[in-house]
Amino acid sequence: MDSMLYLVDLFGTMVFAISGVILAGRLRMDPFGVMVLGSVTAIGGGTIRDMSLGATPVFWITDTTYLWVIIVTCLLTMMLIRHPRRLPWWVLPVSDAIGLAVFVGIGVEKALNYQDSALVAIIMGVITGCGGGIIRDVLAREIPMILRREVYATACIIGGAFYTTTLMLGATPESAFLSCVITTLIIRLGAIRWQLSLPTFALDK
């Protein structure tokens, strides 16, 4: 279970890095800019989480495999993916959803290892899943996805709530983790499949 989770975590890191590289390519950044955008997308959320929880050193300092995955992913993406639109439309969103679901579960789990508040754990799950994308979009001068109508952060919140609730009901940590990942994934995939979005708050001018 732990080894499988680790591999999926690295897969999520890779997918998030790819999304950063593609955005950097659309903005015509130089290779250094590509690396920066790919890196902050992949590990930005987990870095904010660890710094907030006082979990030092940050996870990618103790395990540099994450850094090597990002470097190799960025280089290969720059060389191989010259025309992202030629990829099937669902490949990147679905892969992103898988990475997001795992990141949320890992964030909630780590937060509960450092403190007892379920609310803080859910917030840390959201930060782990969405933090890198927020940094990426801010650097690219775009409105972050979680501030738009996309059902993205909402899926993270509900998934994190499932984790903490099932844990309080007596489930094992493994079962709670799986419930979080599956719930987040189903909601996010459903939003992609049926193009679900949240209502907007708009004021009359």
Please write down the HEC assignment for all residues of the chain: CHHHHHHHHHHHHHHHHHHHHHHHHHCCCCHHHHHHHHHHHHHHHHHHHHHHHCCCCCHHHHCCHHHHHHHHHHHHHHHHCCCHHHCCCCHHHHHHHHHHHHHHHHHHHHHHHHCCCHHHHHHHHHHHHHHHHHHHHHHCCCCCHHHCCECCHHHHHHHHHHHHHHHHCCCCHHHHHHHHHHHHHHHHHHHHHHCCECCCCCCCC
Task: Tell me the angle at which helices 65-80 and 2-26 cross, rounded to the nearest 10 degrees.
Answer: 40
pLDDT in tens, 131-185: 999 999 999 998 887 887 789 999 999 999 999 999 999 999 999 999 999 999 9
One-letter amino acid at 97 equals A
Are 153 and 66 in contact by the 8 Å Cβ rule? The answer is: no
Q: pTM (2 decimals)?
A: 0.93
CA dihedral 24, 25, 30, 31 (to 10 degrees): 90
CA dist 109 and 56 (Å) reads 16
Are 199 and 193 in contact by the 8 Å Cβ rule? The answer is: no
Say what the pLDDT of residue 84 is.
65
Say what the pLDDT of residue 205 is.
66
Location of structure tokens 């738009």 = 148
Segments of the chain with pLDDT less than 50: none
CA dist 163 and 110 (Å) reads 12
